[in-house]
Structure 1
Amino acid sequence: MIHLCVHLSREAIFAGPVQYQWMYAFERYIHILKGYVRNKARPEGSIAEGYIDNEALTFCSMYFNEGETKFNKPEWNYDGPIKATQDGNIFVFKQKVRGIRVAINDVLNLKDLKKARWYVLNNCDEVQPYVRQYMDELERQGLRNVQEMLESEFHTWFLKYVSAIKF
């Protein structure tokens, strides 16, 4: 493989940027075509039949309304429409969630748990006014590390604040 480095510079000069000589897309498609082979005595005919079958099924599936095809299949991690809440509950806690992989029961350490809580609360649009309110309180106290305090202590302040509010 060291000898390959000798020729790489010359190949780059001759062929130009790597995207013009990159064969990955073709190799990938050849792999798909090889998957169509059913009769090893006549691979070309099998590939042609498989390609025609795939094209015909793809064309027909564009017009099927019932059943799941690659044109009307929901996205892999789509959980359905998100419904707005009118009962005063925070939007992020009303979403349906479906795991992508097998669940792993693991205990987070306190540092990771605080980061997870901060991430969820910080990315919820309904909580942003409370984040600003808590940030203003910290700035009024004259603290220097407002962002660190916000990330580490906001979830406890928010829990106390929301528990005190009567909905």
Structure 2
Amino acid sequence: MYFKGVETKFNQPDRNEDAPYVNRHLTVFESQCRPLSKGIPVPLDENTRNKAERFILDNSPETEVYLEEHLTEVQQRDMAANHKLIHKKEFRSWFHKKIYDLHQLGSLEHADELLALASGSNLLAYSYQACIVNGVRFVSYNRDQNRITQNSGVCVAGTEGFNYYGQLEEILEVSFTGSYSVVLFRCKWFNTDPKKKKTITVNNITSINVSGEWYKDELFILASQAKQVFYIDDLVRGRDWKVVQEVNHRQVWDFPDASDMIADVDVVHDTNSLNFVLTVDLGELVVQQSDVPATQVNMAHRPSLVVQEDDGFINDNEDDMANSVEEAEDEDELIVDLSDDNTDDVCPIDVDVISEDSDYST
């Protein structure tokens, strides 16, 4: 073929293609990205390194059991002490010893990754200006200022019932022993405390005040936790206010977790975009009443209708139907007047008695 081997718009790779997936047992080690800029090696000072490692340990589901165990030990050691402060200072060294002791006993699952996490990060990290995470392009704020596009706005869902909004300052890849690494976003968080009316939502339009800053000691988030947002000038409230614009990126779908999905498969939601015909095979219908034993009805035969004389009303009540059948046995023929008052035409209908042992017949 003429175009064989030629890149066209139909076969060109996606611009926002993710990095190759690497299966890891620890969730934090799955926070990866595809860098779009050259990585610059940066030495980590002790303060930044401690904050980064502390955040990684606190946001790893596999370390929750160790965090709870250490906090319990601290509480039992001294009931009057500041437990949270002691727990924060001592957990890293305690966790290191705990993991190595379990490894010596041979009772440690996913030992390589836990040992790497317990040993601490390397003193040298890599800094990037742009990357792609989950099919979305992120750019640091310093690089974003020189562009007409915007890719530095980030949002993280909070546990207090509202979102945290900020801007991406730096993309940092923290390395561990054994070729493991974690990609972190260092962010500047705007003070959007809704209690102080720093966030206003009217008609599903959210405006935030960007004049203040908070959580200066908690700058890091996992790259996989970030959701991209865009900030537009709020012409109504002034220069310190921005309208938050959330978008759905092309070829990116937000699938719910399995725990959030409804287990009832009998419910058909009207949000389904497929056009389909729902077919139900009844087979043999079993009619069960409280005082009558179950009777099988063959759906291949349609039941006969018993027509009453009163105003042409059809009654499906079983007791009334039985009385009508008894009256039909005493008469040779039931005449039903289907004509108007001015005519004398009548329509004779033969009524067959329905036995309880036989199928319904017409």
TM-score when normalising by structure 2: 0.23
Of Structure 1 and Structure 2, the greater strand share is in 2
Return the index of the structure with the highest Cα Rg.
2
TM-score when normalising by structure 1: 0.46
Of Structure 1 and Structure 2, the greater helix share is in 1
